[in-house]
Amino acid sequence: MPTLYVRFKKSTNLPSVEIMMGDYIEIICPIYSNTTDASVMEVYVLRWVSEEEYRGCYVKNPNSKIFQCDTPLKRNKFTLAILPNPSVPGQMTFKEDTRYYMTSTSTGRSEGLLNKEGGVCAERNMKLIFYVPKLHFNIASSAVSIDGKEDNSA
C-alpha cells in the first residue's frame, strides 16, 4: 500500500498531492531528543478546511481537527485511510474527483497550538491539497466456468 509522509516546507506555490482510493496518508509529527532546547520544539494541530479557509489561513469549523502533534519528545504518527466507506466510526469519508485541504494555523509553539488564524499556514505556507481523482475503468466482460477455464461468451 502506498504511504505518503507529509512534510511541509516553505514554498511560494500551492503544494498538491494526488491520492487514490485505498491509499494511506501517514502523518509523522516532529520528534526531538530530550537534549533539544524546548524553545525550538514544534507542535501543531492539523486540520481539514474549506478552500476559502485554506487560501486565507484561518479556521471556522471547531471540529476540523485531524490530528494533534503536541508530544515532541515521543514518536507520534497518524494514519489516515482514503476510503469511500471507512470502517472506523468518525473517520472521514472521501469522494472521487474531490479536493481536500489540510493546513495548520498553529504557531508551532505550545502557546499557539490552538490558534485559529495565520500561524504556520501564513508564515511558512504549511498547507497541502489532496486530490482524489475519478477513476475510469474499462473492464472487459469475462467469466470463469466452474472447471476454471475462461469463458468469454458473457
In angstroms, the CA 64 to CA 85 distance is: 19
Residue 137's pLDDT is: 57
Q: What is the pLDDT of residues 105-144, one digit of tens each?
A: 999 999 999 999 999 999 998 999 999 998 765 444 444 4
Q: Cell numbers of 72, please?
A: 515532541
Poorest-pLDDT segment among 19-33, 76-90, 137-151: 137-151
Q: What are residue 127's phi and psi, to 5 degrees?
A: -160, 155
Cell numbers given for 10: 516553505
Comparing 88 with 4, which gets the higher pLDDT? 88
| Buried/exposed code over 97-136 (b: 16+ C-beta within 10 A; e: otherwise) | eeebbbbbbbbbbeebbbbbeebbbeeebbbbbbebeeee
d(CA 118, CA 127): 11
Look over the chain and give the mean of its residue pLDDT values, rounded to a whole number: 82
**CB–CB of 58/118 below 8 Å?**
yes
The domains located in the chain, with CATH, are: 3-151 (2.60.40.420)
Q: Specify the residue for cell string 525550538.
A: 40
Lowest mean pLDDT among 34-43, 49-58, 87-96: 87-96
pTM of the model as a whole = 0.77
pLDDT of 16 over the 70 cut = yes
